[in-house]
Amino acid sequence: MLRGYDRVEVDALIGRAGKAIQSDDTALRAAAREELLTARLNVRMRGYDRSQVDGVLRRYAEQLERPQGA
């Protein structure tokens, strides 16, 4: 991808979301979901494909809306 979302920012955001998905802490899950829904990622040369990242962020946010393990 020539221009896409900053890889470091995306990796960090996905890492935090992944930890929250594994957690049963409702406050952590809610905060991570909000972060995913409001994220404003920088665009860089050789970044991640924006449409793919947006899809992953939506799916993670949906997972965080449900109780852990549901």
Q: Tens digits of per-residue pLDDT, 16-36?
A: 999 999 999 999 999 999 999
Among candidates 56, 65, 8, 9, which has minimal Cα distance to 32? Answer: 65
Q: How many residues make up the chain in this entry?
A: 70
Tokens of 16: 């935090």
**pLDDT range class, residue 66, cuts 50, 70, 90:** confident
The pTM assigned to this predicted structure is 0.89
CA distance 7 to 45: 10
Sequential DSSP letters for 28-70: HHHHHHHHHHH--PPEEET-B-HHHHHHHHHHHHHHHHSPTT-
